[in-house]
Amino acid sequence: MHKATFEQSYKMLNNKQKEAVDTIDGPVMVVAGPGTGKTEVLALRIANILIKTDIGPHGVLCLTFTNSGVFAMRERLKKYIGEASGEVQVSTFHSFAQKIVEKHYALLDMESMPILIDEQDSVLLFDEILHKNEWEYLRPRNNPSQYFHDLKSLISLLKRESITAESFGKMIDEEIKIIENDPESISSRGESKGQLKKEVEKKIESLLRSKEAVTFYAIYEKTKREQGYMDYDDVLAYALNIINISDDVKSEIQENSQYVLIDEHQDSSGIQNQFLKTIWSEVERPNIFVVGDDRQLIYGFGGASVTFFEEFKSSFGKAHLITLVDNYRSTQDILDTADVLLTSTMAEGKLISNTKESSIVELYTCEYERDEVLLAGQLFKSHIDNGVEPSHCALLVPKNRNVRSAVRILKDMGLPVSVGNNSSFFDMNETYILKNILKAINDPYDSVALGELLFIPNSSIAPLEAHAFLKSTNTRNLSVEDFTKYTKDNSVDLFSDSNPIRALGKSLESFMEINKNGDIYTLLQLIGKEFFIDKTGEHDELVRYAEVIRTYLHLALSHIEKHPHTTLGEFIEYLDRLESYNHHIPLATIGVQSGINVMTLHASKGLEFDVVHIAHMNENSLMNGRRRGFILPESIENIVETKDELTAKRELYVAITRAKRHCTVSYAQTSLSGSTLTVARIIGEIGEKNIKQNKVEDSIKIIGGENPLTYIENNSQKEIVGMKELADIVAKEYMDKNVSVTLLNNFFECPWKWYFNSFLQLPTPKTESLTLGSVVHISIEKILKDKIKVTDKVLGEIVENALDKEIVKDKSLRQRINKNAKKILTNWARNYYPHIHSSYMTERSVSYHDKNFPHLKMYGKIDLTENYDGGITVTDFKTGSSKTKGMIEKRDEEGRLSTLMRQLAMYSYLLTGQNVTQSKLLFLEVDHKDKNAVYSGKVTQEEIDLLVRDISDYDKALSSGGWTTRTCNFKPYGGEQSECEYCKKSEIYKNK
């Protein structure tokens, strides 16, 4: 015991802190605002217990919520009690519960200790269940992982509340019954009088959809038990069950933990509070000490509730209540802003700063979201120039995707950035490159992977050379052999090593030989050395390469340890599955990266920085939680913390109080997709007395005034290599490509999408949705061409043949597509096929030469053309969801047609001279009674003129070379992808 150090630190405490340290008996509750020294109080209190009682260090239990909290507490304790700190039980709730399960699992009738499933295995288990079972809703073919996070959250919620799959199903049934019997659910007017209201019908349908999650939950629990796993939520549930079963275990815990301290108690979930009550509620005035702050409860989604925190006042007898308000972190200006934003319902008095420094919180308005990060970067630069360490600066943002984009922007500004766990393995370009190398080694005919390898920066292949190679090769059947046999300009250089494409092919062949030994770990090391480590001389690049390879090696070792006979193909599939679920794997960083901290508002909890900038504080970003995929019964909905104004205030409160000296906030007026944004209402309500308002002009001045180069990323300012030569080559060759609607749609979305997909025809992966669409189109063409009478048996044969034609070999994939295709085709055969005019053409190929573009050939293939006496009707068959008339006819910011209307206009244009009286889009998967099942209209001359304008703009951009600088119109549609993959790929044409 370092008693002198303890006494010295104790003297520095204020009166309330001393009271918390000295009151060691009975239940004690401390409401501690941010920066009030609660960690110091906890550590000194433990030391005081050891000084004033005969309890040994092992008799003290301190429970925290994070591993970092455990580490911080041990470091503090070491300062006061020396080596004895290792004997104090400092643990997270889950680690403590896991030890109980490890010791007493036999009480649960388990033959062996269940293995705690890690995040990777959890993803694979969910994936296995989704793939091996039939699902109507849970596995949408266009995004099979769509409900993954919702399912995980729902199952976690149900388990925390001890709700079984059976009970959950009954709750849904009871909810439906209540809704159906509610007089308010019945329409009292109009044609639907006496029937369920439309909105009520939709709610019931949503609840029925949620019942599929009940089935998943039951299968998940069964599969997990069979495989000997337990998940994170099982740990506390099992421990609680053991305590309920055995009084001996309960008594043992009571004897071993006579003094209990709990940090961040406001974040305790229902099951964690039940855990405490089950053990200690029968003990008269147990020595339990909790510290927390109702304003900092930001883990409501994890089951925490301020009610649990408030209940402690009487849960174990009347608790001694202490409030800490003296703040040793922030300026009074920062604290006043935080207090105006959110007042504690439990603390007595406002936070009082112990520093005399003053710096009012400022709010900046920016034009765009990206400008907010540029602004933050410039503010950080200013502080760093004035002596603030970069590691003492923090940029806080609402979501993980904001973190990743902000890190990239700050790095492009030349600022040091501390990545920490924020850098994701699957976000690294090198991860993608190495995986494509592995795919090419595993399958030398993987045309998608091989096509991508031609455009990697470390292949030594000049972009124009890759261009020339692809123009001379059948890209649909690309193979490693095509690489090894390639000669430039048909010259005989078969034995020359100067041809980088052939050299790449030879390298892949050599690795294919090494792979025959089945040693994935060694293979990764050798690939990493040849393709990455040996190709760079720059330190930063070398570190980045090494980190990616190191992460690959860690993953390989971990996976092979569990599955010793894993093949390369299985390892690649394992990586693909993790990536498909957007699973975050932190990059295995080398050394400590010191720099500006970038993190989410949630992740900043418990930390402090001299300078804090809080970005993206518009209403949508701050208030919108992630939309849940399932409607829940009202009985469960009531226990789910929703993203309301109070939870948003708590998030912002935590973020503001991380700042010690300077705090700035920003929001943008316009989103990435071009929509208008507004500042979060809760910020607007703070008032100018506590937050200084700055205009757009102020932000522009800080970012760089009127200098437009300030707004351009560093890599966009790099000298372009061969771009003029590329533009010249394309200008000579683009006329060889037929102008189709797909080509135009690609071009106007992104000129680089046109270049890689339409011009070079670089192979792309075929998704389940595209494969289904192809199978349906092939089947309909067969039926129409041969005028087949459709029966279930005939339809089955047609679909099977179409699947063979599409080369669908995966058994589960084939079964899903077969089932969905037959369902779609049955709907079409019953409701549309009988009404087709007797005079028709199917899959009609049409070409057209316009005298205004004599050098171009227009081409298209029309699914169905019907010849009526009054004219022609053209129909295009669509799988997938339907689109409303408004969406189809809507024009973009440039006044251009939507992709679907451009398609219909193209058909009328191709059939110039023929009377197209009607153009249809038939959405095959929609009920034929749905008003959006068929879009029908007549293409106007105005729409054809707009199409011709598109062709003219396309022609001018390609002939002049202007396409290389044309603006990309890629729009993010939610999720994690916020940048255009084709623009990113085009960076191969720029210097490093």
pLDDT for position 520: 95
pLDDT mean over 623-634? 72
SS (H, E, C) 63-113: EECCHHHHHHHHHHHHHHHHHHHHCCEEEEHHHHHHHHHHHHHHHHCCCCC
Q: Write the pLDDT tens digit of every residue in 405-427.
A: 898 899 889 899 987 666 788 88
Q: Write the pLDDT tens digit of every residue in 271-283.
A: 888 899 999 988 9
Structure tokens at 212: 């599929």
Closest to 627 in 3D by CA, of 147, 973, 141: 147
pLDDT for position 991: 45
pLDDT mean over 106-127? 91
Q: Write the pLDDT tens digit of every residue in 468-527.
A: 899 888 888 899 999 999 886 544 454 555 789 999 999 999 999 999 988 999 999 999
pLDDT for position 716: 35
pLDDT for position 986: 83
pLDDT for position 673: 66
pLDDT mean over 303-309? 66
pLDDT for position 898: 96
pLDDT for position 721: 45
Please enumerate, as own/partner, the contacts of 310-314 that have beta carbons within 8 Å and a separation of 24 or more. 310/345, 310/346, 311/273, 312/27, 312/29, 312/265, 313/29
pLDDT for position 718: 38
Residue 304 has pLDDT above 80, yes or no: no
pLDDT mean over 669-675? 78
Place of tokens 């193909």: 569
Q: Write the pLDDT tens digit of every residue in 184-224.
A: 889 887 777 888 888 888 888 888 888 899 999 999 999 99
Q: Whole-number mean pLDDT of the chain?
A: 88
Closest to 746 in 3D by CA, of 958, 479, 564, 432: 958
Residue 707 has pLDDT above 60, yes or no: no
The phi and psi torsions of 30 (rounded to 5 degrees) equal -115, 120
> In Å, how far from its chain's centre is CA 307?
31
Using pLDDT thresholds of 50, 70 and 90, give the confidence band for residue 708: low
Q: Write the pLDDT tens digit of every residue in 149-173.
A: 888 888 888 887 778 899 999 999 9
pLDDT mean over 320-346? 92
pLDDT for position 717: 37
Buried b (16+ CB within 10 A) or exposed e, 88-123: bbbbbbbebbbebbeebbebeeeeeebebbeebbbb
Distance between CA atoms of residues 426 and 431, nearest Å? 6
Beta-carbon contacts of 519 under 8 Å, excluding residues fewer than 6 positions away, are none
pLDDT for position 445: 95
Region of 126 on the Ramachandran plot (φ > 0 left; ψ -120 to 50 alpha; else beta) = alpha
Closest to 401 in 3D by CA, of 991, 986, 974: 974
Using pLDDT thresholds of 50, 70 and 90, give the confidence band for residue 714: very low
Residue 366 has pLDDT above 80, yes or no: yes
Least confident range from 363-367, 578-582, 685-689, 810-814: namely: 685-689
Using pLDDT thresholds of 50, 70 and 90, give the confidence band for residue 626: low
pLDDT mean over 93-98? 94
pLDDT for position 538: 77
> In Å, how far from its chain's centre is CA 981?
16
pLDDT for position 592: 57
pLDDT for position 893: 83
Residue 713 has pLDDT above 50, yes or no: no
Say if CB 663 and CB 334 are below 8 A apart. Answer: yes
Residue 105 has pLDDT above 60, yes or no: yes
pLDDT for position 643: 54
pLDDT for position 641: 54
Burial class of 251 by CB neighbour count within 10 A (0 to 12, 13 to 18, 19+): exposed
Region of 264 on the Ramachandran plot (φ > 0 left; ψ -120 to 50 alpha; else beta) = left
pLDDT mean over 251-271? 89
